[in-house]
């Protein structure tokens, strides 16, 4: 399917950036790219009944969360933002969380996990799990239905969402009832056909992906750890997953393979490919119909549980 015409203008914004330099520091890159994500993602901001920032305690220190509540005693979505484990924050994904909460009448808890390279793997994983467990343990306090907890995330956030599901299962816990993985990165150890075809297309380039991985991992051996590359995990007996991929995304094939492996190992997984679009299209929902459609699909999943 041809690239969505509205997408070309957005790609043009990113192409105006200086050429990526692998010697740049993570903080310098955040200062360049985060404001652009905020500009694109938050072009349309919606009102939610209640929005609250909180600091919760994790095993390794404080974790900042933002709670979007449209209706009390509702299902709750624990959301992990993307950004290669290095960039983005609560503000870059604020509008997405607002829209999901408003459309679903559910509660969204967005997690500001620690970023690399200041905090290498598995710091983000620890924070991600601790935040989800906190929600499960504090349902009465934040007025959510702890029998209806979902985890979700885009890209690196999708990685964290499914790894949290794996950890909870391995701990004998069943508080996570579903996972929503948006073009997730699930294999840091290899490349696929879509990687070869589209790693120099759109906004996610091969050089940046390698740089993200180098920032995140302590060493090459971490790439084979199932908590970094969940495609190597036991994928049986996991919460049902909705996996959204993009046609022109280097991560498309690994996300679709992940869904196939989940099904092969006995878990439920529905994979939906959004054609004519690229990695990051969820952040572009203000401009792109596929982004709006995906948020509507996520909201319907929550509302219908």
Known catalytic residue: 267?
A: no
Q: Which two tokens stand for residue 176?
A: 């996570």
- Asked if pLDDT for residue 40 goes beyond 90, the answer is no
- Residue 81 CA from chain centroid, whole number: 5
- 2 pLDDT band, cuts 50/70/90, is confident
Q: What is the pLDDT of residues 244-280, one digit of tens each?
A: 999 999 999 999 999 999 999 999 999 999 999 999 9
95, 155, 165, 267: the active-site residue = 155
Q: How far is CA 257 from CA 28, 155, 227, 229, in A?
A: 34, 15, 17, 13
- 67 pLDDT band, cuts 50/70/90, is very high
Number of H helices, E strands in the chain: 10, 8
- 202 pLDDT band, cuts 50/70/90, is confident
- What is the rounded average pLDDT for all residues in the chain? 94
Q: Which position has the higher pLDDT, 305 or 80?
A: 80
Known catalytic residue: 286?
A: no
Known catalytic residue: 279?
A: yes
pLDDT at res. 266: 98
- 18 pLDDT band, cuts 50/70/90, is confident
pLDDT at res. 10: 73
- In the chain, where are the structural domains located? 5-303
- 12 pLDDT band, cuts 50/70/90, is confident
What predicted TM-score, i.e. pTM, was given to this entire model? 0.97
Please tell me the distance from the alpha carbon of residue 87 to that of residue 81, in angstroms, as a whole number. 9
CA 93, 97, 99: angle at the middle one, nearest 5? 120
Q: Which fold is adopted by the domain 5-303?
A: Rossmann fold (3.40.50)
What's the average model confidence in pLDDT over 36-53? 87
- 133 pLDDT band, cuts 50/70/90, is very high
DSSP state of 46: -
Q: What is the DSSP string of 228-287?
A: TSGGGS--TTPPPEEEEEETT-TTHHHHHHHHHHHHHTT--EEEEEETT--TTGGGGTTT
């Amino acid at each position: 399917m041809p690239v969505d015409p509205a997408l070309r203008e957005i790609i043009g914004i990113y192409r105006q950036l200086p050429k990526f330099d692998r010697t740049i520091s993570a903080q310098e890159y955040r200062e360049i790219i985060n404001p652009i994500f905020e500009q694109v993602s938050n072009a349309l901001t919606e009102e939610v009944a209640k929005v609250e920032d909180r600091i919760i305690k994790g095993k390794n220190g404080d974790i900042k969360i933002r709670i979007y509540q449209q209706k009390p005693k509702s299902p709750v979505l624990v959301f992990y933002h993307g950004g290669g484990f290095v960039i983005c924050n609560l503000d870059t994904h604020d509008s997405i969380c607002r829209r999901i909460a408003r459309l679903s009448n559910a509660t969204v808890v967005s997690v500001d996990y620690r970023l690399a390279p200041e905090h290498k793997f598995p710091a983000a994983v620890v924070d991600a799990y601790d935040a989800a467990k906190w929600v499960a343990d504090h349902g009465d306090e934040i007025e959510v239905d702890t029998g209806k907890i979902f985890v979700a995330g885009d890209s690196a956030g999708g990685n964290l969402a499914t790894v949290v599901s794996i950890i909870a299962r391995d701990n004998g816990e069943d508080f996570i009832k579903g996972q929503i993985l948006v073009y997730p990165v699930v294999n840091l150890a290899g490349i696929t056909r879509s990687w070869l075809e589209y790693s120099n297309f759109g906004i996610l380039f091969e050089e940046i992906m390698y740089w993200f991985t180098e920032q995140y991992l302590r060493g090459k051996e971490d790439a084979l750890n199932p908590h970094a590359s969940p495609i190597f995990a036991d994928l049986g007996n996991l919460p049902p997953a909705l996996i959204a991929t993009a046609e022109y995304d280097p991560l498309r094939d690994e996300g679709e393979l992940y869904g196939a492996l989940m099904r092969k190992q006995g878990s439920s997984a529905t994979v939906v490919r959004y054609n004519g679009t690229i990695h990051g299209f969820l952040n572009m929902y203000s401009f792109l119909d596929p982004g709006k459609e995906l948020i509507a699909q996520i909201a319907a999943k929550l509302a219908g549980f």
